[in-house]
């Protein structure tokens, strides 16, 4: 199972062990979203739309 990781230099979340932006090592980090959050579904839809606009999602 892949975990959410965090680059302390770029302050970006990723699932890679090396930051895709700067190439430094990332650390394991808790999710920025809580699954039991009643607005989780809306946050995820917004995030997917943002990634699509940036060309980073399917």
Q: Where are the domains of the chain?
A: 5-53
* Beta-carbon contacts of residue 19 (< 8 Å; ≥ 6 apart): 7, 9, 10, 12, 25, 26
Whether the pLDDT of residue 33 is over 70: the answer is: no
Residue 21 pLDDT exceeds 80 = yes
Q: Reply yes or no on whether the pLDDT at 30 is more than 80.
A: no
Total-model pTM: 0.48
User: What is d(CA 12, CA 21) in angstroms, rounded to the nearest whole number?
Assistant: 9
Pick the CATH number of 5-53 from 3.40.50, 1.10.15, 1.10.1200, 2.20.28: 2.20.28
**Residue 52 pLDDT exceeds 60:** yes
> Alpha-carbon distance 1 to 42, whole Å?
24
CA distance 23 to 10: 10
Tell me the mean pLDDT in the region 24-44.
77
């Amino acid at each position: 199972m892949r975990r959410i990781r965090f680059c302390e230099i770029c302050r970006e979340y990723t699932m890679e062990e090396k930051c895709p932006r700067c190439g430094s090592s990332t650390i394991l980090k808790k999710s920025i979203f809580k699954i039991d959050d009643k607005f989780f579904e809306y946050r995820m839809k917004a995030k997917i739309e943002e990634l699509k606009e940036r060309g980073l999602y399917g």
